[in-house]
Amino acid sequence: MLNIYANKINNPQNYRQFKCGETLITLYNCPLKSRFQDVWSKHNYIVYVVEGHKTWHTVTGDYHLVPGSCVFIRKGASIVEQFFDGVFCLVMFYLPDDFIAEVLKTKALPLYQPNKKYEAVIQLASDDLVDVFFRSMLTIFESGREPDPSLIEVKFRELILTLAGNNKNGELMAYFCSLLHDPQAVSLQRVMEENFCYNLKLDEFAELSNRSLSTFKRDFIKHFNVSPGKWLMDKRLQYSYHLLTNTDKTVTEAAFESGFENRSHFSRAFNKLFGQTPRSRKKAIAEVAV
């Protein structure tokens, strides 16, 4: 999968960007090379669409972004669908968990109570303050000058506090507050439940849960009482079984959407667990339907 954060950091010549530590703002004006691209990011990010449209496909739904869309995309994986009928231009703000938490601690107004579940893509309420903020960012980009990093940090803080000050952004604030209050076990379970169906490596799951690989494996076994590899295999196979049984997905689509890149490996593992091949399962369901 494409690590979109690392991709931008490592290719500054391709993206107009300003950095401040681990945070990053990118003015992106370069279409993906393929129609669909599997992507992931270890940081949350805010997207403001200036021109064009794209769709983010996630475990919680599909989100079509058009000019003026402003959304918060939680860290993790998704499939981005590119449309080639025009230029796509956006501003992206990458927001590490610890930076969000640090800014929230300076907030004078009361915080929201965390929820148990959140959308992968949270729609943000737009108002005059938000519009003014993004216009100011576009002005900085278009000036051609490199702003001082301290100004970039101020702009990040301004963005978080501006969004947090709008009562219509309740879900966003609840998620922000979960970063302050949720135990590590809860955040680990959330990362795994929301991203198991993507072909992420164990070290990438560790990054998403803000752990080293060794700590991730230790905490995972302590919480789930099974190794990460075994848990992922069982979870992906159960999900593929659901897709083959309850949807019109083909075997190839079910394999891909369950996190399997190798169809032969998928078929062998499926047969071992369920006693039938994916194709046999699909055929049996089709015959019952008739």
Is the pTM higher than 0.95? The answer reads no
pLDDT of residue 85: 83
The residues of the chain scoring below 50 in pLDDT are none
| pLDDT score at 31 | 59
Instruction: Quote the CA–CA distance of 15 and 9 in Å, as a whole number.
Output: 9
Give 208: exposed, middle or buried? Use CB within 10 Å, 0-12, 13-18, 19+.
Answer: buried
Closest CA to 42 of 99, 70, 9, 3: 3
The answer to whether residues 38 and 77 belong to one domain is yes
Digit-coded pLDDT (tens) for 230-275: 999 999 999 999 999 999 999 999 999 999 989 999 999 999 999 9
Q: Let me know whether 201 and 170 are in one domain.
A: no
* 17 in the same domain as 137: yes
Q: Which of 158, 181, 204 lies at the terminal end of a domain, its last residue?
A: 181
Long-range contact set of residues 254-261: C-beta below 8 Å, sequence gap at least 24? 254/278, 257/197, 258/197, 259/196, 259/197, 259/198, 259/199, 259/200, 259/232, 260/199, 260/236, 261/199
The string of pLDDT tens digits covering residues 16-33 is 889 888 788 887 776 566
User: Does residue 11 sit in the same domain as residue 47?
Assistant: yes
Contacts by 19-22, CB closer than 8 A, 24 or more apart: 19/149, 19/152, 20/149, 20/150, 20/152, 20/153, 20/156, 21/99, 21/149, 21/153, 22/94, 22/96, 22/99
pLDDT at 108: 60
Domain boundary among 181, 200, 215: 181
Contact 191, 205 (CB under 8 A): yes
Tell me, what CATH number does 269's domain have?
A: 1.10.10.60
Query: For residues 149 and 19, what is the distance between their CA atoms, to the nearest angstrom?
Result: 7
133 and 276 in a single domain? The answer is no
**d(C-alpha 251, C-alpha 282), whole Å:** 7
Q: Are 170 and 189 in a shared domain?
A: no
Are both 34 and 123 inside the same structural domain?
A: yes
Give the pLDDT of residue 25: 85
Here the CATH number for the domain that contains residue 64 is 2.60.120.280
- Same structural domain for residues 85 and 225? no
Q: Are residues 23 and 117 in the same domain?
A: yes
Determine the structural domain holding residue 193 and report its residue range. Answer: 183-290
Specify whether 170 is located in the same domain as 218. no
> Are both 9 and 149 inside the same structural domain?
yes
Same-domain status, 145 and 54: yes
Identify the domain boundary among 181, 215, 238: 181
pLDDT of 116: 64
Give which of 26, 9, 8, 7 is closest to 17, Cα–Cα.
Answer: 26
Residues with Cβ within 8 Å of 69's Cβ and at least 6 positions away in sequence, in order, are 47, 48, 49
Pairwise CA distance, residues 248 & 194, whole Å: 22
Nearest by Cα to 28 from 43, 44, 7:
7
Residue whose C-alpha is closest to residue 136's, from 48, 19, 28: 48
- The number of distinct structural domains making up the chain is 2
